[in-house]
């Protein structure tokens, strides 16, 4: 695979070294051009392109299903990951006294939506996961009385720690606890098969590791659950036949599509479609191996600075040496990472060169 040629498709790489894919990813020329095309089509009557737009939406759903290891009717498009998680929280008809467990260091989206259930009498319990313990080891020792749902990140946005998804799914299923996963920092960085991993819900977005645009996210719902859920957002496209405006009865669409209440953000879906096709053509196995190689390389060369050396996804978090004026050095060398709270978060993608990592390592070793 010719990385030099592939890198030419991403304009951001002309501006320096980009190692910040856990934040947002700059999109490729192919994605930009496809989004432009769909914007231009909006100059014309909706009916002229409606069927093709619907076909593109379903093609994109299929690409996501292949990546996630699920069926297309288990996926709903949403504007962002926060909306997807909120749909989960408001679809389960929680009862007063039921409990939800969440790690304390979760990204705010995966904390606020559960805290919001406290107004319904739900006990939102935060826990601190010791850095040297696996999630399953820790949960096995906890009081799980009245716990209805556990919500965790597939990969921590803060530390890069990756959970054993299958072990988590099996743990919850055995105890009849609902499993919910914020997958945005993991999807696209290693293989998944949600059906065999027994996960109930997974939310994610396209703007990080999938190299897609803002405004297009998704929610996976295990098929066996869909009919049992309350649909908190309902609109004219939530039903089996949206074009039958004379219908006098609410007849929900089969599958997760019932959670899509209106017309989709077709421009963002077009962008995600382009990026997923591009990544599929490059080859997911190649991408996964490249990303894992970067993680291993950083672990090998920064052992004394790594804040968490347990199993990691694509994110490596490093303690910043106190004597360094690192932000100035990063700016001077045109290196983009996340620097926050005395930590630097490094998140390279498949197209990054090892030499680019070496330039960052050189700054950290001063």
Per-residue model confidence as pLDDT tens digits over 356-366: 999 999 998 87
What's residue 168's pLDDT? 98
3-22+284-364 matches 35-280 in fold = no
Distance of alpha carbon 92 from its chain centroid, rounded?
A: 21
- Token look-up 């259930």 returns 117
pLDDT at position 307 over 60: no
CA distances for 303 relative to 34, 309, 318, 353, 354, angstroms: 42, 8, 9, 20, 17
Q: What is the dihedral of CA 191, 195, 198, 202, to 10 degrees?
A: 70
Domain ranges of the chain: 3-22+284-364, 35-280
149-168 residue pLDDT tens: 999 999 999 989 999 999 99
**CA–CA gap between residue 349 and residue 189 (Å, rounded):** 8
Question: For 19-30, what is the mean pLDDT?
Answer: 96
**Alpha-carbon distance 95 to 97, whole Å?**
6
**Has domain 35-280 been given CATH number 3.40.640.10?**
yes
The percentage of residues in the chain with a pLDDT greater than 90, rounded to a whole number, is 84
- Average pLDDT, rounded, for the chain: 94
Q: Identify the weakest region by mean pLDDT among 66-70, 221-225, 301-305, 348-352.
A: 301-305
**Residue of higher predicted confidence among 199 and 242:** 199
Paired tokens of 146:
């009245």
Q: Distance between CA 272 and CA 303 in Å, rounded?
A: 36
Q: Residue 1's pLDDT is what?
A: 66
Q: Is the pLDDT of residue 132 over 90?
A: no
Residue 76 scores a pLDDT above 70 = yes
**Residue 188 predicted with pLDDT over 70:** yes
Decide if 226 contacts 88 (C-beta within 8 A): no
Confidence class for position 205, pLDDT limits 50, 70, 90:
very high
Task: Compute the average pLDDT of residues 322-327.
Answer: 76
**pLDDT for residue 310 is more than 80:** no
Torsions phi, psi of 353, nearest 5? Answer: -85, 150
Q: Which CATH code fits 3-22+284-364?
A: 3.90.1150.10
Do the beta carbons of residue 73 and residue 227 sit within 8 Å? Answer: no
Enter the tokens of residue 321. 């040496």
Phi, psi torsion values for 293, nearest 5 degrees: -65, -40
**What percentage of the chain carries pLDDT values higher than 70?**
97
Residues 102 and 280: beta-carbon distance below 8 Å: no
- Residue-by-residue DSSP string for 103-167: ETTS-THHHHHHHGGGGGT-EEEEEPPPTTS-HHHHHHTS--TTEEEEEEESB-TTT-BB--HHH
- Structure confidence at residue 306 (pLDDT): 67
- Angstrom CA distances, 230 to 80, 115, 242, 249, 347, stand at 20, 19, 19, 17, 37
In angstroms, the first-to-last Cα distance of the chain is 34
3-state DSSP call for residue 301? helix
């Amino acid at each position: 695979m010719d990385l030099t040629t592939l890198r030419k498709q991403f304009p951001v790489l002309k501006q320096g070294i980009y190692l910040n894919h856990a934040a947002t990813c700059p999109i490729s020329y192919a994605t930009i051009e496809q989004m432009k095309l769909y914007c231009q089509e909006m100059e014309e009557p909706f009916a002229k392109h409606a069927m093709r737009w619907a076909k593109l939406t379903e093609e994109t759903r299929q690409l996501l299903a292949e990546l996630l290891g699920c069926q297309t009717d288990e996926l709903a498009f949403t504007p962002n990951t926060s909306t997807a998680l909120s749909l989960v929280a408001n679809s389960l008809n929680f009862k007063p006294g039921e409990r939800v467990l969440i790690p304390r260091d979760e990204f705010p989206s995966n904390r606020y939506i559960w805290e919001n259930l406290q107004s319904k009498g739900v006990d939102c319990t935060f826990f601190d996961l010791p850095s040297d313990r696996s999630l399953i080891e820790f949960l096995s020792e906890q009081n799980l009385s009245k716990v209805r749902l556990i919500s965790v990140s597939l990969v921590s946005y803060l530390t890069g720690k990756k959970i054993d998804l299958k072990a988590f799914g099996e743990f919850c299923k055995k105890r009849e606890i609902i499993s919910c996963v914020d997958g945005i920092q993991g999807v696209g960085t290693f293989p998944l098969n949600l059906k065999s991993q027994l996960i109930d819900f997974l939310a994610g977005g396209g703007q990080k590791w999938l190299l897609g645009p803002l405004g297009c996210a998704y929610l996976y719902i295990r098929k066996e659950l869909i009919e049992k859920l309350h649909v908190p957002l309902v609109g004219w496209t939530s039903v089996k036949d949206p074009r039958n405006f004379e219908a006098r009865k609410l007849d929900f669409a089969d599958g997760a599509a019932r959670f899509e209440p209106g017309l989709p953000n077709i421009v963002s879906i077009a962008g995600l479609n382009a990026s997923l096709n591009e990544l599929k053509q490059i080859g997911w196995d190649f991408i996964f191996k490249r990303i894992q190689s970067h993680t291993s390389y950083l672990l090998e060369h920064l052992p004394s600075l790594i804040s968490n050396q347990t199993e990691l996804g694509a994110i490596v978090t490093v303690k910043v040496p106190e004597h360094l004026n690192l932000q100035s050095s990063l700016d001077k060398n045109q290196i983009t990472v996340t620097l926050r709270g005395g930590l630097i978060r490094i998140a390279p993608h498949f197209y990054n060169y090892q030499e680019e990592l070496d330039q960052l390592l050189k700054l950290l070793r001063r």
